[in-house]
Amino acid sequence: MTPEDAARLLPERATLLLQGLPRGAHIALDLQAAQVDTKFEGYKLVPPGVHCLTWQAAGADDGMAASGLRMALVQYTQRQQVLGRSYDAEADIWRTLGGVGDAHLLIAPEHLRTLDPHLAPYHASDAWPALTRYLDADRTTVARVFGVPWGADAMCDSFTPLAEHPDVLSDRELRAPSTAQEGVQFSAMTTHRRANDARDDPEILVEGAASDTESDASSSSDEDTAPAPQAASAVSLQCTPFALDRSWPPEARGVDRTRFRFDKSWLLADVLARAAAADAAYARRLRRPLPRAAPAYGALLREAELVFILFVQANNAAALEHWLALLALFARASSRLGAPSHYDVHPCEWEKDTALVTQPQLDAHIAFIELLTAQFSALPTDAWSGDLAMSEPRVLSDLAELRRNIARSLSAWAARAQVPAEHTPPHEALLRAWKALSATTHTRFGWSLDAVLDEEDEADEWEDGDDAPVVVETGYPYTL
């Protein structure tokens, strides 16, 4: 970067001052990793938006360096902002410089220029904005998941678990991540929330926002001037809970329960609604407005972005499990895509007047697939042969199911294309999103996801594959 470029960007960027991290420690801001020397004092030219700072205080010669334990701090920056953090070695967290709540530093330009040689320039790229498209639009999800006040730093480590919800969660995928898969073991001390956790205290929840008013204008003004509260490490991650193995509506019985056991569409709609409602409720408690005209699926996609960042940047196995569960949830929501079930007649054999069971709702799936493409693009090409090797079969299985459901959805769309006045959802956008995902994974990981996307081949697989109908002699005087 030339001095002219730096001078041009300076009024639009933030500065992050970091003090006290020991020499030899590993640190990363977003996708930029480095090892600290004695001259390092932070980052300059940091663009506005959400950022993830991860660190490992142990040096290369320290035994802890091989453990993979990392700490992560998620924070938002604004233009022309100077943030100061001091490393607390005993607690292994960052504290704000100048005392509690003094998050926005007022530093003379002359003094800032003396620090400039010790500040690492932020290396901007298209990858990080693509990973945080929805998080950048709204801070509420980060505050809710970490249980912190608005504007506070959100911190966790590799061991921070998902919050326990015994009344909702029952599948062990979400509640007991495999230590063999990720090489981490959750401490019994951190598998449940503290009784006096700050997220349950409404007085603490609104701390630092007492001067806010209900008006949007006042809230916007306060966001620029109000100090952020002191950072603290999260006890657990408050992600939207759901159980993949209990995906039917409460009133479902018999055949409906069997149907929704395989088709996760009802569960996906429920999780989308609960994530949005949780964000709205948390914003009200913090007296903060939600963005206008935000998509209904935005809250859950912010969760998907956040947990991906946490497992990639902080080696957090609980975040990985939630990301894998979200992938399975979207992949297996067949009727929401307009795909008939495994046991229905294939669309190529439909009559012209065959009615759809449900109208497709493709917007959330298109957005999620586009997000997956950005996330896979950010992973190292050898990711699935290293730390994520044990998760690859699960991911490929879910992507294969997503591919099958998209193929059936396209076949159903083609079968209905000639029906007069038929509403046509954006299947072209769905197909473009899928092909971009398929091309990305093939280029980076050598995966072949489009082996049977052609609808004629898919119809043959329907009849001849593992899901083909089988005639069984029952011996009973009736047939089904």
**Lowest mean pLDDT, pick from 137-146, 189-198, 250-259, 430-439:** 189-198
Q: Pick the residue with more confidence: 221 or 206?
A: 221
Note whether 329 and 262 are within 8 A (CB). Answer: no
- Distance of alpha carbon 114 from alpha carbon 75, whole angstroms: 25
Same domain, 39 and 154: yes
Domain stop point among 200, 235, 270: 235
pLDDT of 406 above 90: yes
What's the whole-number mean pLDDT along residues 181-204? 33
Check whether residue 89 and residue 219 sit in a common domain. yes
What is the per-residue burial (b if ≥16 Cβ within 10 Å, else e) of 229-246? bbbbbbbbbbbbbbbbee
Q: At what angle do helices 317-331 and 363-378 cross, to 10 degrees?
A: 140
Query: Which residues, including other chains, have CB under 8 Å from residue 263's CB and lie 6 or more apart?
Result: 247, 332, 333, 334, 335, 341
Locus of tokens 């003396």 = 114
Q: Is residue 244 part of a domain?
A: no
Q: Which of 156, 157, 174 is nearest to 166 (CA)?
A: 174
> Domain for residue 291, yes or no?
no
Q: What is the pLDDT of residues 92-147, one digit of tens each?
A: 889 887 654 545 666 767 677 888 889 999 988 889 999 999 999 999 999 999 99
**Domain-located, residue 250:** no
* Structure tokens belonging to residue 82: 């100077």
216 and 359 share a domain? Answer: no
Residue 322 lies in a domain: no
Residues 110 and 231 in one domain: yes
Residue 268 domain flag: no
Q: Is 319 exposed, middle or buried (0-12, 13-18, 19+ CB in 10 A)?
A: buried
Give the range of the structural domain holding residue 393, as residue numbers without chain letter. 334-464
338 shares a domain with 231: no
Asked if residues 81 and 51 have their Cβ atoms less than 8 Å apart, the reply is no
Residue 301 lies in a domain: no
pTM: 0.79
| Residue 112 located in a structural domain | yes
Number of domains in the chain: 2
Joined tokens for residue 438 = 């398929």
CA distance 118 to 109: 15
Instruction: Establish if 283 belongs to a structural domain.
Output: no
DSSP letters for 385-415: GTTTGGGHHHHHHHHHHHHHHHHHHHHHHHH
Among the candidates 196, 213, 235, a domain finishes at: 235
Supply the DSSP symbol for 237: B
CA atoms of 82 and 72, how far apart (whole Å): 20
Shared domain for 224 and 339, answered yes or no, is no
| pLDDT at 198 > cutoff 70 | no
> Higher model confidence: residue 317 or residue 426?
317
d(CA 229, CA 29): 21
- Token duo for residue 390: 């044990």
Cβ-contact 412, 347 below 8 angstroms = yes
CA distance 88 to 155: 13
* Domain end (from 235, 255, 277): 235
